[in-house]
Structure 1
Amino acid sequence: MGLLDRIPSRPKPAAPPESIDVNDRGELEIAWPGGPRVIIPPVQLRDACPCAGCIEEGTGRKLLDTASIPADIRPLGIDPVGSYAVQIRWSDGHSTGLYTWETLRRASGLEP
């Protein structure tokens, strides 16, 4: 048995979006390569935050109470993180979540 037989393969990472914009309603508009342009409401995206303060690291249990997210929440800034994610600064002061391309695709309903 060769070395390659013992190394588990990883799924290919999601391709980065062609563009990410914030519209007048504070929604993220994401254009995926070869795919749809999706709109994600800010409450839905804030609720999908994958950081350790919102999701328990050991179990994956959700810690963030959706009801605690202000109805008027908006992204104040979106910063690239390498070639795999963006970090969103939210109007509620939260900014620790790294939204990978996979996280954004799930939040937009493109992946389970």
Structure 2
Amino acid sequence: MGLLDRISSKQETTAPPESIDLGAQGELLVVWPDGPRVALPAAQLRDQCPCASCIEEGTGRKLLDPATIPADIRPVELHGVGNYAIQIRWSDGHSTGIYTWGLLRRASGLPPG
């Protein structure tokens, strides 16, 4: 299999959230255009980090051990990435994950939208 066989040219078409805020417990409060408002626990999102330090690029195997995530993990900063994602700087110093709208919808338990 060649490199081009492994690269998907499909672009994500998930609509951006109407808003993303931080809750009192460090959760992300996301309001989607189709109505649902969801609270995503910080530890759940940190565990789903899609960066190359947390997920092996070639195989998709998870490298991050959930037991190493501090119980009091919190987002420290949120930055928009284009019109397709946010980047979160976490209280444990990690900041390389880019959370696409599709990833956030899946974490919310919602179908692509």
Output the TM-score relative to the length of structure 1: 0.88
Indicate how the Cα distance of structure 1 residues 12 and 84 shifts in structure 2: closer, same or farther if over 3 A, else same: closer
For 1:111 and 1:41, locate their aligned partners in 2 and report how far apart those are by CA, in whole Å: 19
Counterpart residue identity of residue 28, structure 1: L
Query: Tell me, which stretches of 5 or more residues in structure 1 are unaligned?
Result: 1-8
Structure 2 matches for 1:88-107, cutoff 5 A? Answer: 88-107=88-107
For 2:62 and 2:81, locate their aligned partners in 1 and report how far apart those are by CA, in whole Å: 23
Where does residue 16 of structure 2 map in the other structure? 16
4+ long deviations beyond 6 Å: none
Structure 2 matches for 1:1-112, cutoff 5 A? Answer: 10=10, 13-111=13-111
For 2:98 and 2:90, locate their aligned partners in 1 and report how far apart those are by CA, in whole Å: 12
Where does residue 4 of structure 1 map in the other structure? none
Deviation for aligned residue 1:10: 3.7
Deviation for aligned residue 1:99: 0.3
Secondary structure of the residue aligned to 2:55 is coil
Indicate how the Cα distance of structure 1 residues 51 and 12 shifts in structure 2: closer, same or farther if over 3 A, else same: closer
CA contact (8 A) 2:31 2:38 kept: yes
Could you tell me the percent identity over the aligned residues? 69
> Which structure's CA Rg is the greater one?
1
For 2:12 and 2:85, locate their aligned partners in 1 and report how far apart those are by CA, in whole Å: 15
Indicate how the Cα distance of structure 1 residues 87 and 57 shifts in structure 2: closer, same or farther if over 3 A, else same: same
Indicate how the Cα distance of structure 1 residues 12 and 71 shifts in structure 2: closer, same or farther if over 3 A, else same: closer
Deviation for aligned residue 1:102: 0.6
Indicate how the Cα distance of structure 1 residues 34 and 73 shifts in structure 2: closer, same or farther if over 3 A, else same: same
Secondary structure of the residue aligned to 1:72 is coil
For 2:72 and 2:18, locate their aligned partners in 1 and report how far apart those are by CA, in whole Å: 27
Q: How many residues align?
A: 105
For 2:17 and 2:102, locate their aligned partners in 1 and report how far apart those are by CA, in whole Å: 10
Indicate how the Cα distance of structure 1 residues 32 and 63 shifts in structure 2: closer, same or farther if over 3 A, else same: same
